[in-house]
Amino acid sequence: MQSLRNDLIDLIEHGVIEDKHIDKAIELSSIRPSGKDWAMFFSNLFVWVGSLSFGLSVIFFFAYNWEEMGSMTKFAIVEVCLIVSIFTYIKARSESMLSKAAVLLSCLIVGALLALFGQTYQTGADTWQLFAVWALLISPWVLVARFVPIWALWLVLINLAISLYLDTHPSLAFFVFSSTDKALLSLFIFNSLILIVWEVLSQSRDWMKQRWMARLLATAAGTCITSLVGWNIFQQTVAWPLALWGGFIVAIYYGYRKRNFDLFMLTGSALSVIVVALFFVMERLEGVDELLYLLSLAMLILTLGLIAALWLKKIQEEEV
């Protein structure tokens, strides 16, 4: 039975439950697991802790003997692990937790194999190529698995590949911005596009409906654009990033206030506004008397924080 622990704590903290009724309330909230729940719990505990201990034991053992192992042995170990995990994925029941864990593990082992290859043969390839090739090789599994954490892994790899590529090739011809601007702008555009595609596709696919992925993408895009604006405020070339940021905030407000309500997205946009305002005032007051500087910042953050709190409370109540 589902535990109502959070409800119980809420009621205790508001003084709704009296002392004499606490035992009955605990019973009604199903906090204490049943015998069947305990049996299931211990079964899972033994399996997971045992597997984790076994896995770590094997890793520690190989680490102890790593220097003495030849390169063929090292490759053999990693490739056997990869084959076992793929085999597990194929044999496990479709859509089961075991099959999803197996395909995720396979994706991670591909990365380990590429790293081992790079370490053993010293090909001289750039770091971004490792992540790009890794993302490319696991793409078929990502498409087939329909498992959101693997998509998250794939997107992290692409983000890393993009930022490392731009770091390695700072004088790329088709952008005229600084290297910091290029990296942040590219990541912002990439993550925003993926967010839009994800939101559209998730309308018709149940497995994509988990909100955390969209929120993660929005956080990535929001962090990039806020950092871009902040960086340019201090470089005094603020016009175009500010316009882009403004468009992003308006789009977030329209999309998640008017169309599909999501308080997380609105909270993120409020935080972005506070941070940009803070950077703006910091830049404008640079060199001014220290006391005035701190006082202005304190007043600004207190005012904006309060406005944000009141606004979020109001829309939360409206949407209940």
Partner 1 sequence: MHNALLEKLIKARLVEPIAAEEIPKRFPWYVKLMLAFSGWVGALCILGIFFFVFSSFIENTTTNLLTSLVLLFMSFRILKAPNNEFFEHLALALSFVAQALFTWTLAELKHQEAMFFTSSLFQALLVFIMPSLFLRICSTIFCAISLSSVFVLLGAPNILGTLLIFPMVWVCLNEFKVLEQFHRMKGVMYGLVVSTILLTGGHYFGMRIEHIFVSSYGTIRELPSWVSHSIYLFSLVTSCWYLLAVHNIRLNSKLTTLAFLFTALISLLTIHATGIGVGVLLLIVAFAQSNRVLMGLSVVSLLVYGSMYYSTMERTLLFKSGVLMLVALLMLACYLVLNKLLARPEEN
| Near partner 1 in 239-278, by CB under 8 A | 263-264, 267-268, 270-271, 274, 278
| 24 membership: H or E segment, kind and range | helix 22-28
Exactly one of 170, 246, 247, 305 binds partner 1 (CB under 8 A); that residue is 305
Which residues have CB under 8 Å from 157's CB, separation 6+? 131, 132, 134, 135, 138
Q: How far apart are CA 188 and CA 225, in angstroms?
A: 6
The CA distance from 60 to 275, in Å, is: 45
Instruction: Please choose, from the candidates 205, 311, 200, the residue with its C-alpha nearest in 3D space to the C-alpha of residue 266.
Output: 311
Residues 6+ apart with CB under 8 A from 85: 102, 103, 105, 106, 109
* Closer of 37 and 95 to partner 1 (Cβ): 37
What minimum distance in Å lies between the beta carbon of 229 and partner 1?
A: 17
Lookup: tokens for 244: 């882009």
Q: Which is nearer to partner 1, 44 or 168 (CB)?
A: 44
Binding of residue 306 to partner 1 (CB under 8 A): yes
30 binds partner 1 (CB under 8 A): yes
* Residue from the set 51, 96, 139, 168 that interacts with partner 1 by CB under 8 A: 51
Stretch that binds partner 1, among 99-107, 152-160, 237-245, 294-302 (CB under 8 A): 294-302
Angle at the Cα of 306 from the Cα atoms of 304 and 310, rounded to 5 degrees: 115
Minimum CB–partner distance for residue 156 and partner 1 (Å) = 19
Instruction: Name which of 130, 231, 141 is nearest 187 in CA terms.
Output: 231
Among 29, 106, 163, 192, binds partner 1 (CB under 8 A): 29
Alpha-carbon distance of 71 to 320, in angstroms, equals: 61
Cβ nearer to partner 1, comparing 45 with 115: 45
Token readout for 224 is 């990039």
For residues 204 and 209, give the distance between their C-alpha atoms in angstroms, rounded to a whole number.
Answer: 9
Segment interacting with partner 1, rule: CB under 8 A, options 91-99, 180-188, 234-242, 298-306: 298-306
Which of 87, 260, 298, 314 binds partner 1 (CB under 8 A)? It is 298
Task: For residue 170, state whether it binds partner 1 (rule: CB under 8 A).
Answer: no
Contact between 33 and partner 1 (CB under 8 A)? yes
* Residue 312 binding partner 1, by CB under 8 A: yes
Residue whose CB is less far from partner 1, 58 or 97: 58
Gap between the Cα atoms of 100 and 148, Å rounded: 10
| Residues 53 to 92 in contact with partner 1, rule: CB under 8 A | 53-54, 56-61, 63-64
